[in-house]
């Protein structure tokens, strides 16, 4: 269960704002579905925030999906340091973001997968004029991650590569 907003540190409340995190998940979900032609496996949603919200990991991500996940991780092992703890720590934020997205109608469950709905509005420059560069970078990284995961193999392979279990 998530902590009450009044008991959250301001930085935590801002960074893990459910609307912002739901936007990141929706972008990853939309880009995954576009590339894979199927909804994002629900378990993969729990990897998005720990990757894109962690500045050092986000900055190390490749610039193209031509770079495949497993060889990239072999060459960038430092991104795995602390990743399992980060993923576990962000599980509540991911759950809250998914619930927010579903309540707002931009996300929906499709069996064991997550998909965007017709109510989803992409974070275009016209809609995000108040985004900082870092916020824009996280949105772009979330979209990249969705496309990258679409070609990275099974959910269990992706989890194993990052050194975590669903």
pLDDT digits (tens, 9 = 90+) for 59-108: 999 999 999 999 999 999 999 999 999 999 999 999 999 999 999 999 99
Mean pLDDT on 128-134: 77
Helices 91-104 and 45-52 cross at an angle (nearest 10°) of 110
* 34 in any annotated domain: yes
pLDDT at residue 5, rounded to an integer: 66
The whole domain housing 17 covers 10-162
CA separation for the pair 44, 128 (Å, rounded): 25
* 76 in any annotated domain: yes
pLDDT > 90 fraction of the chain, expressed in percent and rounded? 78
* 4 in any annotated domain: no
* 2 in any annotated domain: no
Q: How confident is the model at residue 127 (pLDDT cuts 50, 70, 90)?
A: low
pTM (two decimals): 0.90
Structural domain total, the chain: 1
pLDDT at residue 1, rounded to an integer: 46
Sheet with 40-41: strands ordered across: 40-41, 113-116, 107-110
Query: Is the pLDDT reported for residue 15 higher than 80?
Result: no
Tokens 């109608």, residue located:
105
Mean pLDDT on 150-157: 95
* 86 in any annotated domain: yes
């Amino acid at each position: 269960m998530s902590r009450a907003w009044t008991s959250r540190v301001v930085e935590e409340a801002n960074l893990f704002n459910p609307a912002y995190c739901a936007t990141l998940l929706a972008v990853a979900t939309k880009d995954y579905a576009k590339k894979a032609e199927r909804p994002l496996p629900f378990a993969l949603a729990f990897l998005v925030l720990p990757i894109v919200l962690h500045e050092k990991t986000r900055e190390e991500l490749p610039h193209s999906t031509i770079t495949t996940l497993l060889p990239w991780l072999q060459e960038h092992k430092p991104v795995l340091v602390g990743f399992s703890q980060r993923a576990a720590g962000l599980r509540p934020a991911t759950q809250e973001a998914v619930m927010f997205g579903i309540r707002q109608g931009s996300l929906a469950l499709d069996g064991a997968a997550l998909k965007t709905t017709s109510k989803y509005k992409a974070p275009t420059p016209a809609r995000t004029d108040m985004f900082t560069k870092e916020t824009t970078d996280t949105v772009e990284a979330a979209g990249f991650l969705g496309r990258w995961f679409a070609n990275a193999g099974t959910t269990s392979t992706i989890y194993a590569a990052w050194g975590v279990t669903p």
